[in-house]
């Protein structure tokens, strides 16, 4: 154990790779065709930055709370606080700075718009860290709320709107990700550092994981074929993005069926093909929504 901390340790503690999940903030302005509107985009980017700092504060607080359990985990024991690379007092200071900075940036650029959802995200995750993650089913619901609140926050800060089909897709996909994470944690559990796993069975998590996957594809397909959506964007070709979505989810499922803990960010960041497919989907959707005549 070192008797000093490096800047890299603090950056690692903030988990910047998880900022990829905050891209959900741009869902609403994308589907509202404001992605290339300078004023709206700047506001969304500032909201994104504020939310990234907020999520980092949450991760730091969670690691402080879970330090003893993390030290018993074969992977989490290498986290900065659990390994002793970052002292707990310094971690408290970092969390406070991140939280204050997040609120300052949000209030400066977005005012009160979306503040409720930002605070709701913090409250949900604080409750999760303080013990609600040990309550069966509620632990998964709170994980799902983390994803959904990002989308709602993104819509609120720019006064945007999103189709109900999109929200249903996000809900279903979030349940798929959350259930998959728990399923793989259960499959790889050694010593069982996550108490809530004792309330689940592998078969239960597996069945409902793929049920939610089916619903996610169904809701996305219904969005892509909705007559109001076609009229709004002037195209009926969004349906051709459905096969790409299916392929992406097939590839993701193949990844988590392998030697994985099921963490969505780790799965995506370690699969270049999956990343490429995700970029292809994003480009296809943006092109069909924004380019007339496609």
pLDDT at 279: 95
- Token pair recorded at residue 106: 């949000």
- Cα 44 to Cα 195: distance, rounded to the nearest angstrom: 38
- The pLDDT of residue 188 is above 90: no
CA distances from 153 to 33, 42, 219, 283 (A): 17, 15, 21, 23
pLDDT at 266: 87
The pLDDT of 100-127, averaged and rounded, is: 96
Q: Name every residue whose Cβ is closer than 8 Å to that of residue 143 and which is 6 or more positions away in sequence.
A: 128, 174, 177, 178, 181
Question: Distance of alpha carbon 82 from its chain centroid, rounded?
Answer: 23
- Cα 52 to Cα 289: distance, rounded to the nearest angstrom: 27
Ramachandran category for residue 276: left, alpha or beta (phi over 0 → left; psi -120 to 50 → alpha): alpha
Mean pLDDT over the full length of the chain: 92
Q: How is the chain split into domains, by residue range?
A: 7-130, 163-294
The confidence band for 243, taking pLDDT boundaries of 50, 70 and 90, is very high
- The pLDDT of residue 162 is above 90: no
Domain 7-130 has CATH 3.90.550.10: no
The confidence band for 81, taking pLDDT boundaries of 50, 70 and 90, is very high
SS3 sequence of 228-267: HHHHHHCCCHHHHHHHHHHHHHHHHHHHHCCCCCCCHHHH
Backbone angles phi, psi at 259, to 5 degrees: -80, 80
The pLDDT of 80-90, averaged and rounded, is: 92
- The pLDDT of residue 259 is above 80: no
């Amino acid at each position: 154990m070192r008797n000093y901390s490096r800047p890299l340790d603090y950056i690692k503690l903030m988990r910047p790779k998880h900022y990829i999940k905050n891209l959900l903030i741009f869902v609403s302005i994308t589907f509202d065709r404001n992605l290339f509107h300078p004023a709206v985009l700047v506001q969304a980017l500032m909201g994104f930055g504020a939310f990234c700092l907020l999520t980092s504060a949450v991760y730091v607080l969670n690691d402080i709370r879970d330090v003893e359990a993390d030290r018993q985990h074969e992977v989490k024991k290498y986290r900065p606080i659990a390994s002793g690379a970052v002292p707990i007092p310094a971690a408290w200071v970092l969390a406070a700075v991140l939280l204050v900075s997040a609120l300052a940036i949000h209030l400066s650029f977005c005012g009160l718009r979306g503040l409720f959802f930002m605070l709701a995200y913090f409250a949900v995750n604080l409750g999760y860290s303080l013990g609600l993650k040990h309550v069966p089913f509620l632990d998964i619901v709170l994980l799902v709320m983390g994803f959904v609140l990002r989308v709602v926050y993104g819509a609120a800060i720019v006064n945007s709107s999103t189709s109900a089909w999109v929200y249903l897709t996000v809900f279903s996909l979030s349940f798929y990700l959350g259930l998959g994470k728990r399923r793989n944690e259960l499959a790889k559990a050694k010593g069982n550092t996550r108490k809530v796993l004792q309330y689940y069975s592998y078969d239960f998590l597996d069945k409902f994981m793929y049920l939610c996957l089916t619903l996610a594809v169904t809701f996305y397909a219904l969005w892509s074929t909705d007559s109001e959506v076609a009229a709004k964007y002037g195209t009926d070709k969004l349906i051709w993005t459905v096969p790409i979505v299916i392929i992406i989810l097939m590839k993701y499922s193949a990844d988590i069926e392998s030697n994985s803990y099921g963490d969505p960010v780790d799965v995506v960041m370690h699969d270049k093909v999956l990343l490429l497919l995700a970029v292809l989907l994003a480009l296809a959707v943006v092109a069909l929504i924004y380019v007339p005549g496609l």
